[in-house]
Amino acid sequence: MSLVRQLFAHPGMSRADLAAAAGLTKSTVSTIVRELIEEGWMCEREVVATGDLGRRPTPMFIDQERLLLIGAEVDIESARVVATSLTGDVLASATANFGAGKSAKACVGALANAMLTVRAQLNSNKQRVVGIGVGLPGGVDEDTGFLHFAPNLGWRDVPVGSMLREKLAGTALAGVPMFLQNEADVAALGEVEFNPSIASDPLLYLSMNQGVGAGVIFSDRLLTGRRGFAGEVGHMVLHINGPMCSCGRRGCAEALIGPRAILGTEEEHPHPLREIRRLMQERHPETLRAIKKAGGYLGVLLQNLASAYDPGSIVIGGQMAELGDVFLQPALRTLTAYAAAANLPPPNVRSSRFGRDAVAVGAAALVRYRLTRPLMATLDGEASVEMAA
């Protein structure tokens, strides 16, 4: 798959270019390329005649029509499913609204139906789904497909992977390889896979919904940590002995920035984000002040992320990001002030190019990431895997 990765980064390379880049002979590359064209990964495009003498080498491109990726975001009340090309263009989509507080079984059933709705929009003669990715709002064990803990869904140790596989058995999506990961992690992968730039490395995707978490990609690798909990930056302490957090600790970023911090803790709202949007529309003064204050704390969190990872880019996403300037401007002001105090340029902060589909498209990117990478480097090195295709 290293030839496929070459073309992701440099569309239009010829077979000779690919051979040179991979250190393989031209005849080996020709054989592999023939297979990859047959399988639907690559295609040739005609050389435009320019009047120059001699035959031009044929440029190769990633095939954007035959192989597709399915990506899904599971949120608290709904699931969003997209089908994308290998290069991340959304070709079909569906949303399942299951409402809050439903059982994991009911949610996974609705998710499977949305996937099949998307599948039905595709041309089953010409298009093949090579994998399904799912982004979940909690800690995920990618090897087993278990969602360990999703506080805002109220799920603990749910075998989402096998439940979904069971729901899809006997359907058009039966047996398709499946990959599950945390929602911020997949959104970060979406940015790197479908919009690669060396200047963005390391890339952080900060996801702010009811919970606050980050996905971190560094040197083309997803940082998952020892137990899959890396990037749990919502539980970094920003203020010792600060307000109580949902995790049981005090002064966590989430307790200062999250929707509960904005609404105050006296009353539990079943839909805190919806409530904040309502109060914002009413221009409720206390809420606007609380959003600004939370935005300032977001700036402190961004400062801590800059210190920890020295990111090339921080991408901000999630429903909290949709609160807009009233929330984000105080954050950027705080971040800029911290940077100026230390005489450093502030890190590059931007929103996702995939907007509300950042997690679903990111889940599709997880499929591409896993299918086109060798196994992660281990103590045993990676030479043997890397040499294939």
- Return residues touching its own copies (CB under 8 A): 2, 5-6, 9-10, 21-24, 196, 198-199, 201-202, 218-221, 223-240, 247-249, 297, 300, 303-305, 307-312, 338, 341-344, 347, 376-387
The single-letter code of the amino acid at 355 is G
CB nearer to its own copies: pick between 89 and 220: 220
CB of 247 to its own copies, least distance (A): 4
CB nearer to its own copies: pick between 237 and 280: 237
CB nearer to its own copies: pick between 20 and 106: 20
Please answer whether residues 322 and 209 qualify as being in contact, where contact means their C-beta atoms are separated by less than 8 angstroms: no
CB nearer to its own copies: pick between 49 and 342: 342
The span from the CA of 118 to the CA of 96, in Å, is 11
CB of 185 to its own copies, least distance (A): 12
CB of 121 to its own copies, least distance (A): 32
CB of 138 to its own copies, least distance (A): 13
Contacts of 238 (CB under 8 A, 6+ apart): 251, 252, 253, 256, 297, 300, 301, 304
CB nearer to its own copies: pick between 84 and 224: 224
DSSP for residue 217: E
CB of 156 to its own copies, least distance (A): 11
Residues in the chain: 389
Contacts of 27 (CB under 8 A, 6+ apart): none
Upstream peptide bond of 347 is cis (omega within 30 degrees of 0):
no
CB of 346 to its own copies, least distance (A): 12
The span from the CA of 154 to the CA of 142, in Å, is 19
The span from the CA of 162 to the CA of 152, in Å, is 21
CB nearer to its own copies: pick between 138 and 347: 347
The span from the CA of 77 to the CA of 79, in Å, is 7
